Amino acid sequence: MKITAIETTPVFVPRLPAFGAVPRTALGPSAVSEHGIVQVHTDEGLTGLGELSSVFARRGPLLCRDVDERLAPALIGRDPLELTRALRAMETRLPDGQLAIAGVEMALWDLAGKALGVPVYTLLGGRVRDRIPLSYSVPHGEPVEMAQYALERAREGFRTVKVKTGQGMETDVEAVRQVREAVGATHRVRVDANMAMRSAKEAIRFVERIMDHDPEMLEQPMPAHDLKAMAEVRASVSIPVMADESIGHPRDAMEVIRREAADVLNVYVTESGGIQNAARIFTLAEQAGLGCMIGSMPELGIGTAAQIHLGLAMPNLDFDSDTCGSLYQSEDLLATPLRFESGFAFAPEGPGLGVELDADAFARAARRSPPP
């Protein structure tokens, strides 16, 4: 089998509002997901599907261009089943291009699964679990709104809710307090600062102030590059500290491990450069004695399916994960929606990633204009 063409399409999908407003975190507002769809065509008529996704606005069309101009020329004519060679070729052509590479790489896994007639999780060594327990994120708002939103998610079956902080110390502490009060002692309340803490001391003080509300862990208190401060926070608080924005490629995960900057790694298929690199981070974490979860951009249906396959196959998926990105979107672009029930994600049925595009929804998302 040979790759004959790689097609990219920028797509624009409105996010669902949260308490009537555009969802907002310390990274900014997110009215629309500006992602891209990758279709890798072959001489045997099989097509692999991938998704280009980023939390940041304006990236989808740029990622499509990276694939068109840099990655596609390196892959045309190659055997898509030689995944590792394809990955190395892409990393050579586009160093630091993990987001673009991931969209193509997951399409190659989809192709391999379709060609061999097995799901991607089988190619990854087989399932070690039948479903993935989920966490749901609570964006910025009034603490009372955030608590109500968390309660609704708990009632839907989510066992973990993630409070997004960065609205100022007093509001953040109050949000954690009210969310805990709303969901009760049976649920986990995770806290994600998205790098918004100004100093390690501020992060440590924040944790001291929320300890009465039994936080599960603190995610990425400090800026991505500041592993020294991350390590300082980790050494000073009694709850686990998770690294998210500090980790992209496996080499970043290695640096976090070396610098003892986190207890838990938030692993992304997209930011690491694909399923294969994400699986490598899981292995690094396992050997370092660190826990892992899978994070989201949030992805639409194809990207979320890729995360689910990974999560079903990784033995050390220790924490409830964000592999439900499509639930934050107004549509997932899939012909058959992914299966989420009572706070769990289930494997899509069928070979490869087990998903197909809904032609109408895809065309609609491709026709939409980018937001002003």
Interface ranges with Mg ion (CB under 5 A)? 192, 219, 244
In the complex with Mg ion, the residue whose CB is nearer, 164 or 309, is: 164
Burial 47-77 (b: 16+ CB within 10 A, else e): bbbbbbbbbeeebbbbbbebbeeebbebbee
How far does CA 167 lie from the centroid of its chain? 23
Closest contact distance (angstroms) between CB of 154 and Mg ion is 20
Q: Which pair of structure tokens corresponds to residue 24?
A: 């907002």
- Residue 258: exposure state from Cβ atoms within 10 A (0-12, 13-18, ≥19): exposed
Distance CA 14, CA 160 (A): 25
The number of beta carbons lying within 10 Å of the beta carbon of residue 2 is: 13
Nearer to Mg ion, 219 or 252 (CB): 219
Residue nearest to Mg ion (CB): 244
Burial 230-243 (b: 16+ CB within 10 A, else e): bbbbbeebebbbbb
Q: How far is the CB of 106 from Mg ion (least distance, A)?
A: 21
Name which of 72 and 294 has its Cβ closer to Mg ion: 294
CA distances in angstroms from 259 to 51, 193, 229, 288, listed in the order given: 32, 20, 10, 12
* CB 216, CB 266: distance < 8 Å: no
d(CA 186, CA 167): 26
Of 244 and 358, the one with the shorter C-beta distance to Mg ion is: 244
Polymer length in residues for the chain:
372
Residue 256 — left, alpha, or beta (φ > 0 → left; ψ -120 to 50 → alpha)? alpha
User: Considering the complex, what minimum distance in angstroms separates the CB of residue 135 from Mg ion?
Assistant: 10
Q: How far is the CB of 12 from Mg ion (least distance, A)?
A: 23
Q: Measured from the CB of residue 242, what is the shortest distance to Mg ion in angstroms? A: 8
Looking at the Cβ atoms of 3 and 229, the one nearer to Mg ion is 229
Closest distance of CB 144 from Mg ion, Å: 23
Parallel/antiparallel/unpaired status of strands 28-29 and 24-25: antiparallel
In whole angstroms, what separates CA 185 from the centre of its chain?
27
Whose Cβ is closer to Mg ion: residue 64's or residue 196's?
Answer: 196
CB of 244 to Mg ion, least distance (A): 4
User: Based on CB atoms, which residue is closest to Mg ion, 105 or 322?
Assistant: 322
Residues 6+ apart with CB under 8 A from 85: 78
Q: Which is closer to Mg ion, CB of 91 or CB of 245?
A: 245
d(CA 333, CA 320): 25
The Cα 356–Cα 371 span in angstroms is 26
In this complex, which beta carbon is closest to Mg ion, that of residue 112 or of residue 265?
Answer: 265
Work out how close the CB of 271 gets to Mg ion at its nearest, in angstroms, rounded to a whole number: 11
CB of residue 367 to Mg ion, shortest distance in Å:
31
